[in-house]
Amino acid sequence: MRHRQAIALLALVGLFVALYLWLHALGFGGAIKCGASGGCETVQTSPWAVFLGFPVAFYGVVGYLAVLIVTLGSLRPAALAQPGWDRLVLVLSSIGVLFSAYLTYIELFLIHAICRWCVGSAVIITLIWIVSLFSLRSPATRIDPGASQLLRGPPA
């Protein structure tokens, strides 16, 4: 359960990072906040900032939202013992990690500029992927009052 909670919190942070970049790409707000090293505008205005007709950050919003919804769904008492949720998060985060790796490659070798927000997002999705692996490998939490009674032993 702790793993799933950690994933939910990471997905929430990732969602807002992607939301900021998406809203900026849509023209909201001024120039992007990027720190002294710069690079964000170069990346955001490059030809690779749009993928299949949508700003790249839009896919981040959708991806993190999907992970968040699935993880919150998996935290319901009835779902805690079902490992299928962990598999689903692992699949979603694997797609996210691959997409982030592709974007980081483009930043480093084609655009020659690094956007620290994009790096932040790549780190978050990688952490989600790692935690989802742990979540899948750890034994499922069982909500079984009867079994708990047996483990605790008979009442005195």
Neighbours of 140 (CB within 10 A): 14
Interacting residue with another protein among 27, 84, 145, 153 (CB under 8 A): 27
By C-alpha distance, which of 53, 54, 39, 15 is closest to 104? 39
Please return the burial class of 77, using the count of CB atoms within 10 Å of its CB with bins 0-12, 13-18 and 19+: exposed
Q: Which stretch binds another protein (CB under 8 A): 23-31, 58-66, 101-109, 134-142?
A: 23-31
By C-alpha distance, which of 18, 126, 103, 32 is closest to 62? 18
The helix/strand/coil state of 142 is coil
Interacting residue with another protein among 16, 54, 105, 134 (CB under 8 A): 16
42 near another protein (CB under 8 A): yes
47 near another protein (CB under 8 A): yes
Matching residue, tokens 């047996």: 150
19 residue type, one letter: L
89 near another protein (CB under 8 A): no
Per-residue contact flags (x/-) with another protein for residues 100 to 139, judged by CB under 8 A: ------------xx--------------------------
148 near another protein (CB under 8 A): no
By C-alpha distance, which of 66, 62, 82, 65 is closest to 74? 82
73 near another protein (CB under 8 A): no
Binding site for another protein (CB under 8 A): 5, 8-9, 12-13, 16, 19-20, 23-24, 27-34, 38-42, 45-47, 49, 72, 75, 112-113
